[in-house]
A = this chain, B = another copy of it.
Amino acid sequence: MRSRTPSVNPKTAPPTEGQVTTGPIYRSEKIYDEIDFEGTTLRVPARRVNLTNGDHFDVYDTSGIYTHTDPELDLKRGLAKTRDSWPHPDAVPASDEHPELKVRTQLAWARAGIITPEMAFIAHREGFDPETVREEVAAGRAVICANHNHPEIEPMIIGKKFAVKVNANMGNSAVTSSIAEEVEKMVWATRWGADTIMDLSTGRDIHETREWILRNSPVPVGTVPIYEALEKVKGDPTKLTWEIYRDTVVEQCEQGVDYMTVHAGVLLRYVPLAANRVTGIVSRGGSIMAAWCLNRHEESFLYTHFVELCDILTKYDVTFSLGDGLRPGSIADANDEAQLAELRTLGELTRVAKERGCQVMIEGPGHVPMHKVAINVEWEEQWCEEAPFYTLGPLATDIAPGYDHITSAIGAAIIGQAGTAMLCYVTPKEHLGLPNRDDVKIGVITYKIAAHAADLGKGHPRAQERDDALSTARFEFRWHDQFALALDPDTALDFHDETLPAEPAKTAHFCSMCGPKFCSMRISQDVREYAKQHGLDSVEAIEAGMQEKSREFAESGGRVYLPISAT
């Protein structure tokens, strides 16, 4: 007879410490730069990659304490509420238009000329001076998603002047996945560089799942409150009301959500614009609101109650992510009138929100062929006062389900270079299923590539340093350093070891691609050395015709490169 244990529902069981990934990344250690802010010490994190040549290279890091050696985790209590002890300013006027409205948001403080601890933290983290951070926030060109009730986060900034950021979506659905899995996905995604995560849970236990994620997340967390509101009316969008939605938003603000997608631009009169599209409305929030508007033949309650919504979000300093409910869902529908009509309305709402001191970013497409990508950024900047653009890809083609992380990384890199501030990742499972842990990692790494390529393309001051460090390690056959400087050291190491697993191969001056005889890198190093020794290292020297030196070398039996040695 089997022993009986109390039944535990594995989907709702709280996560335990053993279920999340911890420990340092390959040959790296977590460091903190300590900076003084009005007498308070702010500890700004970075990952220090220790190189085999004695140098080190510090990279931006989003992984929190999980990448410490033996971190002291207590998932139930959550991370330390660090920001609670920071000296935050008092309320200030929301804006010149609403001086009577006193608020405590990064936007209002920035406009009032105040540098907050978050701004100082971010300035150090990104390599800008605090005043630049303040200016960008004051102009509404950058946002700091940091709910007063989410003191656990390490502040970060989303804006075109700064490094392009990456968001990773997660969340359970009615079909699959547990709370523990979702918390681990958050830890896992931030380990690989996710700058924010969105909890898009639609199944049961939405509140509970979100609580576990929020308390343990070192990065800002976004949500789409309409999903939870819809659960409350048992999935019937026509039963939604402003009151149900509002209560849901307040509940999430109280919990500490840092930014919220609000599809307030899906207006009744825009719905028919989507009727003859190839793929209609593909945004979940957009389709819910379209169904609501059409069924009731009323204007969207998100639009009609928008000012109230602003005042709720402003109270907590929650940032709007104005959703593109009418974004195109296929190449055929890109840049159509439905999409553009909504974007113009988002511009109108941006002004309303900012006047009330509320931070705003704007969501963007979706599915766009390459030649139609950059104009999206121009429209957004023109109509929405350069509020940070936050795009989903876009996918540059529809013909590769199973590879949509790649189809979309192409569009993401291009739109990032054009000025998009944050890229929402797409995993290989897009259009096909829910991402598992491996898919989350592939999605994050792929998007870190797109974001970094965009940073290089934009000329971000720190971007090329890492490329150069890795390229130099490659040229000098410092294999361990190549792996350690990579976005994903583990995979680079595994791939190398598939063909040349022995440790000496990691210091060898060749690899399995060319074999010992043909290594161009090695020949190239030998050429450099030879040219230097023989005074042939300039065009002038060569053209001066130093043939005797060459002859001399040949006669001495010299070779341009040496036979391969085992070391």
B453 touches A520 (CB 8 A): no
> B520, A284: Cβ atoms under 8 Å?
yes
User: Which of A268, A512, A550 has the largest count of B CB atoms less than 10 A from its CB?
Assistant: A512
Contact, CB under 8 Å: B471 / A401: no
- Bound together, the chains give a CA A550 to CA B268 distance in angstroms of 12
Q: Which of B295, B329, B429 contacts A554 (CB 8 A)?
A: B295
Cα–Cα distance between A287 and B431 once the two chains are bound (Å)? 45
Least Cβ distance of A478 to chain B in Å?
Answer: 13
Q: Are A370 and B413 in contact (CB under 8 A)?
A: yes
Besides A329-B475, A333-B471, A400-B445, 14 other A-B contacts (C-beta < 8 A):
A236-B559, A238-B554, A275-B531, A278-B468, A280-B524, A286-B520, A287-B520, A295-B554, A295-B559, A297-B545, A331-B467, A402-B492, A410-B449, A431-B513
Within 8 A of B (CB), among A250-296: 268-269, 271-275, 278-284, 286-288, 290-291, 294-296
Residue of B nearest to A273 (CB): B539
Of the 9-residue stretches A212-220, A307-315, A483-491, which lies at the interface with chain B? A483-491
Closest chain-B Cβ to A273's Cβ sits at a distance in Å of: 7
B554 close to A433 (CB less than 8 A): no
Q: Which of B370, B537, B554 contacts A453 (CB 8 A)?
A: B370
Contact residues, A508-529 vs B (CB, 8 A): 511-521, 523-528
Q: Chain B residues near A532 (CB, 8 Å)?
A: 275
- A53 interface contact, C-beta 8 A: no
This chain: copies in complex: 2
Which residues of chain B come closer than 8 Å to A488, judged between CB atoms? 400, 402-403
Check B445 against A397 for contact (C-beta < 8 Å).
Answer: no
The reply to whether A173 and B515 form a contact with Cβ atoms under 8 Å apart is yes
Query: How would residues 536 to 564 of chain A score, 1 for a CB under 8 Å from any chain B CB and 0 otherwise?
Result: 11110111011101110110001111000
Given A280-B524, A515-B174, A515-B202, check contact A495 B409 (CB 8 Å). Answer: no
* Tally of contact residues, A, Cβ under 8 A: 142
Task: List chain A positions with a Cβ less than 8 A from chain B.
Answer: 173-176, 202-203, 227, 230, 235-238, 268-269, 271-275, 278-284, 286-288, 290-291, 294-297, 329-333, 367, 369-371, 396-403, 405-407, 409-410, 413-414, 417, 428-434, 436, 445-446, 448-450, 452-454, 456-459, 464, 466-468, 470-472, 474-475, 482-483, 485-488, 491-492, 494-496, 498-500, 511-521, 523-528, 530-532, 536-539, 541-543, 545-547, 549-551, 553-554, 558-561
Question: By the criterion CB–CB under 8 Å, are A517 and B399 in contact?
Answer: no
